[in-house]
Structure 1
Amino acid sequence: MSKIILTHEVTGLGEPGDVLEVKNGYARNYLFPQGFAVAWTRGGEKQVEQIRAARAARELATIEEAQDIKAKLEAAKVRLAVKTGTGGRLFGSVKTVHIADAVKEAGVAELDKRKIEIPTAIKTTGEYTATVRLRDDINATITLQVISDKKK
């Protein structure tokens, strides 16, 4: 087992600044090459504190603020205009950065793309849902209307 410090959020594993023990191969073959973690050292304690301070600054300040944003997100239907081909098929797929930009343009809230999860790939026009982790204990569901941006 390897003791590591997460530098980025890894779904199902932890948040930045968490000190964990994972299997050697997982750390060596996935976490380290992707830049999601660094090896734990005695000098790494200072780095852990810096990562946690940065995470606390990025997190939404209060539960009330998170619940207010959750209510706004769940009430709004976010429209996302994308380039499409025949039959409403997209060129590529909708990414979390596209969703974050659409929510910002709708004037609902400014979201971190890393906090958005899309359950299935969005490759055609239609209505979809995505989940946003506002805090560790508060998730919001966004309703997306993916439409073609073709001018008729």
Structure 2
Amino acid sequence: MQVILIQDIDNLGAANELVNVKNGYARNYLIPGKFAVEANAANKKQLDERMKVQAKKEAAMLAEINKVITVLKESPIKIGAKTGTSGKIFGSVTSLQIARAIRDQKGYEIDRKRITLPDEVKELGTYKATIDFGNGNNTEVEFEVIGE
């Protein structure tokens, strides 16, 4: 029996996927548990419409991500830090400070968990951080640590 999965099922398939299963599995577990619907003509048509809408949303999201990437690459982000006499900063620069600097200087809200620093940043200078936007979209952003 062919069914359309409503949500991801381990070892079976992903949401909005058309799969073949045994009749009993579909009628006794998948359909009553609202994990899948029967793959009739009406449900296949709804699936096609959902896929078109999802494709449009993904295209719009990709365009927005590309816009953010171009803005982030225009100029380095400046992060102020308190320094000692030798040029070393007190503490280190964190992804939270970078996220706040991006919000303040570029106007985009980026979750600090998506920002990856290569090493600990404990001195003044220019560094690069990686921002992962998901779905394989990531970019390197340059930031400069300056003394306050």
Corresponding residue of 1:68? 67
Off by >3 Å, runs of 4+ in structure 1: none
Q: Is the 8 A contact 2:128 2:141 kept in 1?
A: yes
Q: Secondary structure at the match of 1:86?
A: coil
Corresponding residue of 1:112? 111
Structure with more relative contact order (C-alpha pairs < 8 Å, separation 6 or more):
1
Query: Larger % of strand: which?
Result: 2
Q: Is the 8 A contact 1:72 1:108 kept in 2?
A: no
Percent of aligned pairs with the same amino acid: 30
Query: How much has 1:81 moved relative to structure 2?
Result: 0.5
- Residues 125-144 of structure 1: matches in 2 within 5 Å? 125-144=124-143
CA distance in 1, matches of 2:72, 2:109: 11
CA distance in 2, matches of 1:63, 1:107: 19
CA distance in 1, matches of 2:99, 2:89: 18
Query: How much has 1:110 moved relative to structure 2?
Result: 1.2
Corresponding residue of 1:78? 77
TM-score, normalisation: structure 2: 0.58
Q: Secondary structure at the match of 1:62?
A: helix
* 1:96-124 Cα deviation digits (max 9, x unpaired): 00000111110242110000000111000
Q: CA RMSD in A?
A: 2.7
Q: Secondary structure at the match of 1:68?
A: helix
- More displaced 10-residue stretch of structure 1: 94-103 or 131-140: 131-140
Q: Secondary structure at the match of 2:91?
A: coil
CA distance in 1, matches of 2:145, 2:110: 18
Query: How much has 1:141 moved relative to structure 2?
Result: 1.1
Corresponding residue of 2:123? 124
Q: Is the 8 A contact 1:84 1:90 kept in 2?
A: yes
Query: How much has 1:134 moved relative to structure 2?
Result: 1.4
The answer as to 2:93 corresponding to 1:94 is yes
TM-score, normalisation: structure 1: 0.57
Query: How much has 1:76 moved relative to structure 2?
Result: 2.3
Q: How many equivalent pairs are there?
A: 96
| Amino acid of the structure 1 residue aligned with 2:91 | G
Q: Is the 8 A contact 1:115 1:133 kept in 2?
A: yes
| Amino acid of the structure 2 residue aligned with 1:133 | D
Structure 2 unmatched runs, 5+: 1-7, 11-59
